Chain A
Amino acid sequence: MQPAERSRVPRIDPYGFERPEDFDDAAYEKFFSSYLVTLTRRAIKWSRLLQGGGVPRSRTVKRYVRKGVPLEHRARVWMVLSGAQAQMDQNPGYYHQLLQGERNPRLEDAIRTDLNRTFPDNVKFRKTTDPCLQRTLYNVLLAYGHHNQGVGYCQGMNFIAGYLILITNNEEESFWLLDALVGRILPDYYSPAMLGLKTDQEVLGELVRAKLPAVGALMERLGVLWTLLVSRWFICLFVDILPVEKIFSEPGSLSMATVAKLRESCRARLLAQG
């Protein structure tokens, strides 16, 4: 690739992630030039929808969300649809109280271990950046651990909270969104027994056996447990691989619907390699 051609696509994306070395600029530009039309059309629709000030709950919104919330509206739409905004409004000052709560060295250590290991490919999380989002991440996770002592801190929450911080640019909103996810939408995913997570993994296995028997048989023949493939996807809510709009408006369907789509697209490749 020519250097002149490379330089047209910024090395850092709008979220602060560095594009990988092998990033295909030409393919990206080709895709983006046509996708931009779609994005613009969506942005106009969303602006019209949100011009009244609130975020309506309707079939239209559901449809819009499924297609993706434009970056500039994400924080607001997520806050309202998840109920996080309502919680934050009803509990003024609560977040800051949590940060001043009684210290818990075990919790603090567990969180600290993961700070350097959360999005190291994102410039905003680098220690050399000022302000460095590691501090914000630490606060959100610490407050959450104090707030929900049954869960405390579970690895994986660092990626979710980190992502929420990147989108909202707001510590307190990130906390309330994290609470919506961990506390209400996926209550047993992160608790010590991880029952919700394990159940969903089993359900996924059943679904694959029923809908894609060839893939199911391959997995059985190779003796691969589903956890190997999906635990990271499920625990991190696909934040590192897919857009995450839908979870706040249709929580129950997230994992299964997403995997249903993914597995269709991966089916041919999986079987070819098997």
Chain B
Amino acid sequence: MAKAYDHLFKLLLIGDSGVGKTCLIIRFAEDNFNNTYISTIGIDFKIRTVDIEGKKIKLQVWDTAGQERFKTITTAYYRGAMGIILVYDITDEKSFENIQNWMKSIKENASAGVERLLLGNKCDMEAKRKVQKEQADKAFSSLARDILLKSGGRRSGNGNKPPSTDLKTCDKKNTNKCSLG
């Protein structure tokens, strides 16, 4: 039987509770936004197949509960992930400070050399912004392989493009490594 895809990539979303991980994943997988999300308990996943440079890429995106104690469950999924998306909320400084802790969890649990992506969510709430883009660039510029981009839950930072477009762009960069690695 022919495979329905050329490559399978497993991605993982992590970050503090309430930063909008589930919103992003639903926007990405179903191109859908609504205001009625429920707290993610434990771990969940969504699948989307995208075409990149003529290849069918099946993306398995794992969504996790953000509360600290759930790490006891979710870290089991780090090792199998080829890419990890760290999400913070630009209106919540604490969620940005905690990125360091999430980085540490990656170091302790994920495969060496896993692709990482830092994502500032809720860019549509510019008036409430607490974390400046420069701050994020500065704090994580040493992670050369990381790609920094902003994405709003409702709208991406640069206009009407849905975040799925942004995510695809970043996957494109990452896939070269993911697919060969």
Contacts and interface: CB of A to CB of B under 8 A. Distances in A.
A131 interface: no
B39 A227 contact: no
B73 A155 contact: no
Contacts of B37: 117, 120
A205 interface: no
26 contacts: A110-B17, A114-B18, A114-B39, A117-B18, A117-B39, A119-B38, A120-B35, A120-B36, A120-B38, A155-B17, A155-B40, A155-B65, A155-B67, A156-B41, A159-B38, A193-B72, A194-B70, A198-B73, A228-B43, A228-B45, A231-B42, A231-B43, A231-B73, A232-B42, A235-B42, A236-B41
B17 A227 contact: no
A154 interface: yes
Contact of B39 (A118, A191, A198, A225): A118
Given A120-B38, A121-B36, A155 B70 contact: yes
Nearest to B73: A227
A110 B72 CA distance: 18
Contacts of B43: 227-228, 231
A273 to B, nearest CB: 13
B138 interface: no
A225 B75 CA distance: 12
B33 interface: no
Nearest to B77: A225
B76 interface: yes
A120 B72 CA distance: 27
Contact of A113 (B17, B68, B72, B77): B17
Contacts of A93: none
A223 interface: yes
A113 B18 contact: yes
B66 to A, nearest CB: 8
Contact of B41 (A113, A120, A191, A232): A232
B44 interface: yes
A183 B37 CA distance: 28
A110 B67 contact: yes
A192 interface: yes
A261 to B, nearest CB: 21
B39 A194 contact: no
Contacts of B44: 228, 232
Given A155-B17, A223-B80, A227-B76, A194 B38 contact: no
Contacts of A158: 39
A155 B43 CA distance: 12
Interface string A106-135: 000010011001111100000000000000
A238 to B, nearest CB: 12
